[in-house]
Chain A
Amino acid sequence: MNEIFELQYALDTFYFLMCGALVMWMAAGFAMLEAGLVRSKNTTEILTKNIALFAVACTMYMICGYHVMYGDLGNFFLSGITGDGATGVDEPATYAPSADFYFQVVFVATAMSIVSGAVAERMKLWAFLAFAVVMTGVIYPMEGSWTWGGNAVFGMYTLGDLGFSDFAGSGIVHMAGASAALAGVLLLGARKGKYGANGSINAIPGANLPMATLGTFILWLGWFGFNGGSVLATASVESANSVAVVFMNTNAAACGGLIGALILARLMFKKADLTMALNGALAGLVAITAEPSTPTALQATLFGALGGILVVFSIVTLDKLKIDDPVGAISVHGVVGLLGLLLVPITNEASSLSGQLIGAATIFIWVFGASAVVWSILKATMGIRVTEEEEFMGVDISECGMEAYPEFVNAKA
């Protein structure tokens, strides 16, 4: 092993770990975004959900998820993963195997974070965490094994051979999370008071827009790790160039998404709806995630803008369909995730539209179907929704027993 290779190994491993740490930070972004867009009486619970789901996701991925997704790289409980990447496997890697696990595991948590926002303000905490166990231990790793893992879908067909390509996970992570969320929302129902008996759609404004904005900034920052790390290496001229392009395009798409959503919201609603602008930036990021390495900066901006425009229409449409998603997660990650997949063949000749469609359908049908089964079982056994009175009081008190802002209640010290 020569010294140049050792340096490359060290640098790639370091880069992988730092990108993973950035993606881990996205969990904070989701927590702040969701806490900002719910009412103050549901703040503690959404924060509990967000930080607990991260721990559950990482633990389940350690126990079995990584093995299900990458059978040749890791065993159950990650036994043997502490070895040397350069000599330990058939094909020498330029990074440590445990760094690969670390980078992969934070993606699982991201997928699960998407679910928590959509079912906010009415779901039971423990039912949600029970779902998180199955989602991060089995449902996500299965579809991950068919895509990034390269395995055949139940032995029938292999997505990679059909021209399916999803660079950092518009479909594999974001649309998958949104599919699970959609199944949950459909079984859970809308928040009380969201839709009136006479067909009216009522707004339930979020309590803390500074927090939602901070959350979006954090997600934006974390996304550089999400997409940038997905190059998987940086210690060569080729991979360094690719990393730089990915960073540039990821940023461009977020900007395009924000501008698209902000202008459209201004035209549609006569005022600049900040929450739509925030969703627009995230939509831009989701749209570029499937392929941030081949578009030009202008293309990335336009793809992002397309995502930002689509997300506004999607949020309004889901509301009309009475699918209550307090933070817009299904629109941002699901609808725009699909858009991201379908945009890939425009700039990446190695992929095909048919491959993208089959891949998207495979991910959606599996995750939505499996999630619907799990949610249904939870609904029939422990129940997934809090009582009407608990919902009115706020799930902070009913689920966590504490207020996020206790000064506002008359508590004797």
Chain B
Amino acid sequence: MKLVTAVIKPFKLDEVREALGEIGVSGVTVTEVKGFGRQKGHTELYRGAEYVVDFLPKVKVEIALTDEMVESAVEAISKAAATGKIGDGKIFISQLDDAIRIRTGETGSDAI
């Protein structure tokens, strides 16, 4: 099992959710986050004086998946979240040791 963590542009969340639903992903966890990447935030003007927005708002989507689902999920996210412009975000994939469905006590891929 893998944990796929995608950090995406907030306005792309609905499209990502739909794309994941289409390939049969049954659940995701979403968190509003802030951060910076190579873009390093950006500057704005207020009354003619500059100020730096160091951390830009992003949405973090976490999905627990069976190994065979990972490729299609990554593809779905990449396609749905892409604008081609700087700041589209990143996808991280990590090993997931176990999963437990609290209601039934099922474990492993049965719990996903």
List the interface of chain A (C-beta within 8 A of B): 201-205, 268-271, 273, 275-276, 312, 315-316, 319, 328
- Which residues in window 50-71 of B have CB below 8 A to A? 50-51
Contact A202 B51 (CB under 8 A): yes
**Complex Cα gap A203–B47 (Å):** 7
DSSP class of B's interface residues: helix, strand, loop or mixed? strand
**Complex Cα gap A365–B84 (Å):** 60
Residue B45, interface by CB 8 Å: yes
Residue B92, interface by CB 8 Å: no
A202 to chain B: which residues have CB within 8 Å? 49-51
Residue of B nearest to A315 (CB): B47
List the interface of chain B (C-beta within 8 A of A): 44-51
A270 to chain B: which residues have CB within 8 Å? 45
Contact A315 B48 (CB under 8 A): yes
**Complex Cα gap A205–B44 (Å):** 10
Contact B51 A319 (CB under 8 A): no
Whole-angstrom distance from the CB of B47 to the nearest CB of chain A? 6
Contact A205 B46 (CB under 8 A): yes
**Complex Cα gap A34–B49 (Å):** 19
7 pairs across A/B with beta carbons < 8 Å?
Answer: A203-B47, A203-B51, A204-B51, A273-B47, A275-B47, A312-B48, A315-B47
**Complex Cα gap A203–B49 (Å):** 5
**Complex Cα gap A268–B44 (Å):** 13
B50 to chain A: which residues have CB within 8 Å? 201-203
B49 to chain A: which residues have CB within 8 Å? 201-203, 319
Contact B45 A269 (CB under 8 A): yes
Residue of A nearest to B49 (CB): A203
The one of A204, A271, A328 that contacts B45, using a Cβ cutoff of 8 Å: A271
**Complex Cα gap A202–B45 (Å):** 9
Contact A275 B46 (CB under 8 A): yes
A276 to chain B: which residues have CB within 8 Å? 47-48
Residue of B nearest to A273 (CB): B47
The one of B46, B48, B51 that contacts A268, using a Cβ cutoff of 8 Å: B48
**Complex Cα gap A100–B72 (Å):** 80
**Complex Cα gap A316–B45 (Å):** 12
A203 to chain B: which residues have CB within 8 Å? 44-47, 49-51
7 nearest A-B residue pairs (beta carbon): A203-B46, A203-B51, A203-B49, A316-B48, A269-B45, A201-B49, A205-B46
Whole-angstrom distance from the CB of B45 to the nearest CB of chain A? 5
A204 to chain B: which residues have CB within 8 Å? 46, 51
**Complex Cα gap A315–B47 (Å):** 8
Whole-angstrom distance from the CB of A328 to the nearest CB of chain B? 7
Other than A203-B44, A275-B46, A276-B48, give 9 A-B pairs with Cβ distance below 8 A. A202-B51, A203-B45, A203-B46, A203-B51, A204-B46, A273-B46, A312-B48, A315-B48, A316-B47
Residue of B nearest to A271 (CB): B45
**Complex Cα gap A328–B27 (Å):** 51
Residue of B nearest to A195 (CB): B49
Residue of B nearest to A37 (CB): B47
B45 to chain A: which residues have CB within 8 Å? 203, 269-271, 273
Whole-angstrom distance from the CB of A183 to the nearest CB of chain B? 22
A275 to chain B: which residues have CB within 8 Å? 46-47
Contact B46 A319 (CB under 8 A): no
Residue of A nearest to B43 (CB): A203
Residue of A nearest to B51 (CB): A203
B48 to chain A: which residues have CB within 8 Å? 268-269, 273, 276, 312, 315-316, 319
**Complex Cα gap A319–B46 (Å):** 12
Whole-angstrom distance from the CB of A282 to the nearest CB of chain B? 14
**Complex Cα gap A205–B46 (Å):** 6
**Complex Cα gap A201–B45 (Å):** 11
Whole-angstrom distance from the CB of A16 to the nearest CB of chain B? 38
A268 to chain B: which residues have CB within 8 Å? 48
A315 to chain B: which residues have CB within 8 Å? 47-48
**Complex Cα gap A269–B47 (Å):** 8
Whole-angstrom distance from the CB of A64 to the nearest CB of chain B? 38
**Complex Cα gap A204–B51 (Å):** 8
B44 to chain A: which residues have CB within 8 Å? 203
**Complex Cα gap A205–B48 (Å):** 11
